[in-house]
Amino acid sequence: MTVRESVLDAIGYTPLVRLRRLGEGLRPTIYAKLEFQNIGGSVKDRAALSMIRAAEQEGLLSPGGTVVEGTSGNTGIGLALVAAHLGYRSVVFAPAATATEKIRLLRAYGAEVHLVGDYVPRSHPGHLANRAAAFAAGTPGAWLARQYDNPANPAAHEASTGPEIWRDTAGGITHFVASVGTGGTISGTAKFLKKASSGAVQVVAADPDHSVYGGGDGGAKYVEGAGHALHPESLEDVWPEAFDTVLVDRYIRITDRDSILTARRAAREEGLLIGGTSGTALAAALRLAEELDESHTVVVIIPDSGRNYLSTYFDDEWLTSAGFSDPAEPALSVGSLLPGPAAGVPILPAGLTVGEAIQELVRRGADCSLPAFLALDRGTSFGAVHPREVSAAVTLRSLAAAVESNPRAAFSPAAQQGEPFASVGIGTAVADLAQHPGQLLAVLVDGRIAATARQPFAGPDRSQEPAASRGII
């Protein structure tokens, strides 16, 4: 048995596990590097330890100090556990949509957690990076980890992840696949592997479909921790310094659906419980493996465990509510409320008058019998967007009422012409909808709004039933 002299020594040395079942029928050997075996449960433990050690050496963090970071979770968990072990206070700013399991973990390690708005331009003071920076600036003894630009982040992987893979494959690795958040994992590991193999190892970035890294439109996504979304009001697109794009030979883009369903497959077919970005990387590795032969060895990074996502990707109800599963009973599901195929909803850009908004719809030939249009300010004119990107759902009636009172009034979807809406999966049973007759519904297919509908009727009157049976306890 291997003895580790402290918790910090239990970071790294993660195993490579051959994927026998998922790799069946594929010619190369595929190994998964199980980064959830790090003591804090993710690949980010390595970067957290490395960044804290570097800060100590540079005199930026000293006894009694506070570790601060804006993070979608895993870096915060790594920082919190290293801080706990070394006696620092830790304060983490996390997006409100972060999996509850990760928020609870942060608190379990004693971190103070501040949840911040999810979809905020990078330049806005409310953006998580700016909130964390402002907090650090105003707190004596505080050190901001800045994982996106901190060279100690990729350096951790150059010093440990890369050498481990090289050693454990006896120099036999030919392809390295990883998802990209800060880029620390892929850049540091690739730097080592490229050098060790004299440039022979091919480096593949597995990227969520909408991520800007791989050429996507920057739209919001479901996998947490990887990919690069771009808020439409962001003034510039700043890529992390930790991400050395020169080292990437190829991007493979993976949809949210494929990421999530691949993670679920890994649990059920391989017995390997992995997170969403692991699903992204694994889906890319499997796609890549189809092009390769027996002479190749693929290593794919599994950044964290599915235990962090039991209430989301692995929860059947969640899957249905986000439109990722096919309706069990199509005739009784939300899909049956739609007049036609769910092919996307007309989108109105910001910055118009109400009169122009109507003209715009007419110009685009929008079907005026649709229950609603969506307002957001990305350039797309028709399409399927993530509900987080929508500032309002707008009905023709509300636009007509506004234009009657003042055609030159600014089109102000959230304030005036918008109507509240509920997001429901296309496979959600109509009987399960909230009891608001006529409510506007944004219908999700694969997590994106692909149609709008109205709830046709109020559900059964359950007000006479005992409270517990209505789920109120």
Provide the minimum distance between the beta carbon of 147 and ligand PMP in the complex, in angstroms, as a whole number.
7
Which residue lies nearer to ligand PMP by CB, 182 or 391? 182
Q: How far is the CB of 179 from ligand PMP (least distance, A)?
A: 5
Quote the distance between the C-alpha of residue 65 and its chain's center. Answer: 31
Residue type for 192, please? F
23 binding ligand PMP? (CB under 6 A): no
Question: Closer to ligand PMP at the Cβ: 183 or 219?
Answer: 183
Q: What is the residue type of 114?
A: H
Minimum CB distance to ligand PMP, residue 457 (Å): 41
Q: Give the shortest CB-189-to-ligand PMP separation in angstroms.
A: 9
Q: CB-wise, 302 or 451, nearer to ligand PMP?
A: 302
Q: Between helices 74-86 and 100-108, what is the axis angle to 10°? A: 10
Task: Please identify, using beta-carbon distances, which residue of 101 and 419 lies nearer to ligand PMP.
Answer: 101
Count CB atoms within 10 A of the CB of residue 468: 8
Measure CA 193 to chain center: 27
Q: How far is the CB of 420 from ligand PMP (least distance, A)?
A: 32
Segment holding 357, helix H or strand E: helix 354-363
User: What number of chain residues touch ligand PMP (CB under 6 A)?
Assistant: 19
The region of 38-46, 201-209, 340-348, 440-448 touching ligand PMP under the rule CB under 6 A is: 38-46
Contact characters 298-317, ligand PMP, x per CB under 6 A = -----xx-------------
Contacts of 220 (CB under 8 A, 6+ apart): 119, 210, 229, 385, 386, 388, 389
Q: Is 74 in the site for ligand PMP (CB under 6 A)?
A: yes
Backbone angles phi, psi at 5, to 5 degrees: -80, -15
Interface positions, 384-413, toward ligand PMP (CB under 6 A): none
* 40 near ligand PMP, judged by CB under 6 A: no
Give least dist CB 73 to ligand PMP, A. 6
Q: Which of 441, 426, 452 is nearest to 373 (CA)?
A: 452
Q: Which pair of structure tokens corresponds to residue 195? A: 């050098």
DSSP string, 108-167: HTT-EEEEE-SS--TTSTTSHHHHHHHHHHTSTTEEE--TTT-THHHHHIIIIIHHHHHH
Least distance between ligand PMP and beta carbon 300 (Å): 12
Position 50 contacts ligand PMP (CB under 6 A): no
Residue from the set 29, 277, 312, 391 that interacts with ligand PMP by CB under 6 A: 277
Q: Which of 33, 44, 102, 221 is catalytic?
A: 44
Q: Which of 44, 89, 210, 228 binds ligand PMP (CB under 6 A)?
A: 44
Quote the CA–CA distance of 380 and 217 in Å, as a whole number. Answer: 9
Task: Name residue 316's amino acid.
Answer: D
249/251 Cα distance (integer angstroms): 7
By CB under 6 A, which span of 22-30, 49-57, 224-232, 341-349 interacts with ligand PMP?
A: 224-232
Lateral strand order in the sheet of 202-208: 16-18, 29-34, 297-302, 175-179, 202-208, 250-254
Q: Which of 11, 173, 226, 348 binds ligand PMP (CB under 6 A)?
A: 226
Q: 26 or 254: whose CB is closer to ligand PMP?
A: 254
**Does 76 sit near ligand PMP (CB under 6 A)?**
no
Q: How many CB atoms lie within 10 A of CB 269?
A: 12
Beta bridge partners of 213: none
Minimum distance from residue 182 beta carbon to ligand PMP (Å): 3
Stretch that binds ligand PMP, among 132-140, 221-229, 346-354, 432-440 (CB under 6 A): 221-229
x/- mask, ligand PMP, residues 235-274, rule CB under 6 A, reads ----------------------------------------
Report the C-alpha gap between 382 and 347 in whole angstroms: 6
Q: Judging by beta carbons within 10 Å of its beta carbon (0-12, 13-18, 19+), is residue 353 exposed, middle or buried? A: middle
Between 44 and 175, whose beta carbon lies closer to ligand PMP?
44
Q: Are 216 and 209 in contact (CB under 8 A)?
A: yes
The reply on whether position 428 binds ligand PMP by CB under 6 A is: no
CA atoms within 13 A on the CB side of 461: 1
Minimum distance from CB of 256 to ligand PMP (Å)? 14
**Residue 44 annotated as catalytic:** yes
Residue 34 or residue 445: which is nearer to ligand PMP going by CB? 34
From CA 138, how far away is CA 142, in angstroms rounded? 8
Residues 155-194 that bind ligand PMP (CB under 6 A): 179-185
The side-by-side arrangement of strands in the sheet containing 66-70 is 112-116, 89-95, 66-70, 142-144
Which residue numbers are catalytic? 44
Using CB under 6 A, list all residues that contact ligand PMP: 42-44, 72, 74, 179-185, 224-226, 275, 277, 303-304
